[in-house]
């Protein structure tokens, strides 16, 4: 008796969203191929930095690993979510809110990507394959994806039952369905960097930082200043991840990226500005970080739909978001898990029904989370809100300050029933 053909999914994008999608669909009984334009697996990341994993994302990742304990071994706890404010003139800080039941974990982007990638069968990801175009068959029974093999210059077609667009916030696949959708500039950019202090953990800089911020290693610090706000926390292997959001007109971004190339003059100006805003202990960390980079912060209005026929959006392609709710990676992982369970539930019955259920589960959640993250960013940046004045940490009430807490995120602890 002939073995029944497995359904096949083509995933475009080999970042964490695409790799997560591969895990979830393999678990659902599908064959998967992932197309990624980068020529080899990342060993480090020039533009990747730290991220926070919520408890549900941790549980999902562990379900994909043969050795679930590896996730704990490659991350650090973020048990505390703390918001504080700093007066740049007299270099004093004071606490605004503190949640000691946060239960996230801090990961370095390339560490998490490597963990997920190495847990996949070797042949799943096709590195050095640039997505060119796709076409859906007239009877909607299959999708053909055209890709260029960068090493040879050859163009090949890959046929599958489903195309998963995990090609990021600037998704070209999404653009083919929503050509008029424009990303919304937030009003600010983010300087980012990771300071590796593994060779110098007893330096004046690190000892000073740990004295000023005694819960480093288990706390997610948000610091509101006169020029935007900063975020910092410790990563595994003696690294400090920091971000500084600065209000500015929208810069010109070249190419298909939200990361800007920065000159040494730009870095020097940023270092000088930091001295006027932050306490010396944090300033030293910023100034000693090699190769800081600048992200332009965008999101979009929530989409009305995230699938068309046998094409579905995953991760930032489905919901470009600002980073203030630590949602981007967590949403991508949950998208993948829910999509996998929907496909498994409907089996051979109806791809359309599976994708419709995926959309009905995820769209209301991610829409609310994108809008909440947008509002949270504006509050922390001291920007005007539609309903009132900007937050002033010096005069804010306890109720105003509570708005800063991560646990206010809509669906913060929600687990979709399909995952139970």
Arithmetic mean of pLDDT, 380-391? 83
Residue 395 predicted with pLDDT over 70: yes
Per-residue confidence (pLDDT) for residue 12, from 0 to 100: 98
Arithmetic mean of pLDDT, 176-181? 97
Per-residue confidence (pLDDT) for residue 48, from 0 to 100: 62
Arithmetic mean of pLDDT, 293-297? 94
Residue 377 in contact with residue 245, Cβ under 8 Å?
Answer: yes
Q: Both ends of the chain: CA-CA distance in Å?
A: 35
Nearest to 124 by CA among 11, 201, 37, 27: 11
Q: Give tens-digit pLDDT for 331-353.
A: 999 999 999 999 999 987 799 99
Residue 46 predicted with pLDDT over 60: no
Q: Which residue has the higher pLDDT, 1 or 83?
A: 83
Per-residue confidence (pLDDT) for residue 49, from 0 to 100: 82
Per-residue confidence (pLDDT) for residue 388, from 0 to 100: 74
The enclosing H or E element of 415 equals none
Q: Give tens-digit pLDDT for 229-242.
A: 999 999 999 999 99
Indicate the DSSP class of residue 384.
-
What are the backbone angles phi and psi of residue 52, rounded to the nearest 5°? -115, 130
Separation between Cα atoms, residue 321 and residue 372, nearest integer Å = 10
Secondary structure E strands in 236-339: 239-247, 259-260, 293-299, 307-308, 311-313
Residue 1 predicted with pLDDT over 60: no
Per-residue confidence (pLDDT) for residue 292, from 0 to 100: 93
Residue 356 predicted with pLDDT over 60: yes
Per-residue confidence (pLDDT) for residue 44, from 0 to 100: 60
Arithmetic mean of pLDDT, 252-259? 80
Q: Give tens-digit pLDDT for 92-136.
A: 999 999 999 999 999 999 999 999 999 999 899 999 999 999 999
Residue 56 predicted with pLDDT over 90: yes
| Paired strand residues for 33 | 10
* Token representation of residue 9: 């999914």
CA 104 to chain centre: 14
Residue 396 in contact with residue 380, Cβ under 8 Å?
Answer: no
Arithmetic mean of pLDDT, 211-216? 95
Residues ≥6 apart with Cβ < 8 Å to 201: 238
Separation between Cα atoms, residue 224 and residue 383, nearest integer Å = 12
| Paired strand residues for 137 | none
Per-residue confidence (pLDDT) for residue 226, from 0 to 100: 92
**H helices within 194-308, ranges in order?**
204-212, 264-277, 280-288
CA angle (317 as vertex; 311, 320 as ends), nearest 5: 150
Indicate the DSSP class of residue 385.
B
Percent of the chain past pLDDT 70, that is, above it, reads 98
Three-state DSSP class for residue 4: coil
Query: 307-308 and 184-196 as β-strands: parallel, antiparallel, unpaired?
Result: unpaired
Q: Give tens-digit pLDDT for 127-137.
A: 999 999 999 99
What are the backbone angles phi and psi of residue 380, rounded to the nearest 5°? -70, -20
Residue 166 predicted with pLDDT over 70: yes
Neighbours of 181 (CB within 10 A): 13
Indicate the DSSP class of residue 249.
P
Residue 3 predicted with pLDDT over 70: no
- Mean pLDDT estimate for the chain: 94
> What are the counts of helices (DSSP H) followed by strands (DSSP E) for the chain?
11, 20
Residue 140 in contact with residue 29, Cβ under 8 Å?
Answer: no
């Amino acid at each position: 008796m002939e073995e029944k053909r497995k359904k096949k999914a083509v995933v475009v994008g080999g970042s964490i969203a695409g790799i997560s999608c591969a895990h979830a669909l393999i678990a659902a009984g599908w064959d998967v191929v992932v197309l990624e334009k980068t020529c080899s697996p990342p060993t480090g990341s020039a533009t990747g930095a730290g991220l926070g994993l919520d408890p549900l994302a941790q549980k999902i990742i562990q379900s994909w690993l043969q050795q679930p304990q590896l996730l704990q071994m490659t991350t650090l706890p973020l048990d505390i979510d703390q918001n504080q404010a700093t007066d740049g003139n007299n270099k004093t800080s004071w606490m605004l809110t503190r949640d000691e039941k946060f239960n996230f974990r801090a990961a370095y982007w390339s560490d998490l990507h490597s963990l997920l990638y190495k847990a996949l069968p070797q042949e799943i990801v096709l590195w050095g394959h640039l997505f060119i175009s796709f076409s859906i068959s007239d009877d909607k029974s299959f999708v053909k994806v055209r890709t260029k093999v960068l090493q040879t210059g050859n163009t090949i077609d890959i046929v599958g039952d489903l195309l998963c667009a995990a090609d990021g916030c600037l998704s070209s696949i999404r653009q083919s369905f929503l050509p008029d959708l424009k990303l919304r500039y937030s009003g600010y950019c983010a300087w980012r960097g990771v300071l590796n202090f593994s060779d110098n953990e007893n330096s004046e800089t690190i000892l000073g930082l740990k004295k000023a911020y005694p819960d480093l290693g288990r706390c997610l610090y948000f610091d509101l200043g006169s020029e935007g706000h900063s975020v910092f926390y410790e990563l595994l292997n003696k690294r400090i991840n920091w971000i500084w959001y600065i209000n500015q007109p929208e810069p010109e971004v070249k190419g298909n990226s939200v990361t800007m190339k920065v000159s040494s003059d730009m870095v020097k100006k940023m270092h000088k500005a930091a001295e006027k805003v932050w306490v010396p202990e944090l300033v030293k960390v910023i100034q000693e970080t090699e190769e800081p980079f600048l992200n332009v912060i965008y999101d979009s209005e929530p989409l009305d739909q995230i699938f068309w026929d046998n094409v579905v959006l995953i991760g930032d392609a489905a919901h470009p978001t600002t980073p203030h709710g630590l949602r981007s990676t967590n949403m991508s992982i949950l998208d993948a898990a829910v999509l996998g369970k929907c496909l498994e539930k409907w089996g051979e019955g109806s791809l359309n029904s599976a994708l419709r259920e995926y959309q009905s589960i995820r769209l209301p959640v991610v829409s609310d989370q994108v809008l909440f993250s947008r509002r949270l960013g504006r509050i922390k940046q001291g920007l005007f809100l539609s309903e009132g004045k900007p937050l002033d940490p010096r005069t804010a009430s306890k109720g105003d300050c509570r708005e800063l807490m991560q646990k206010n995120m809509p669906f913060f602890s929600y687990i979709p029933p399909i995952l139970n």
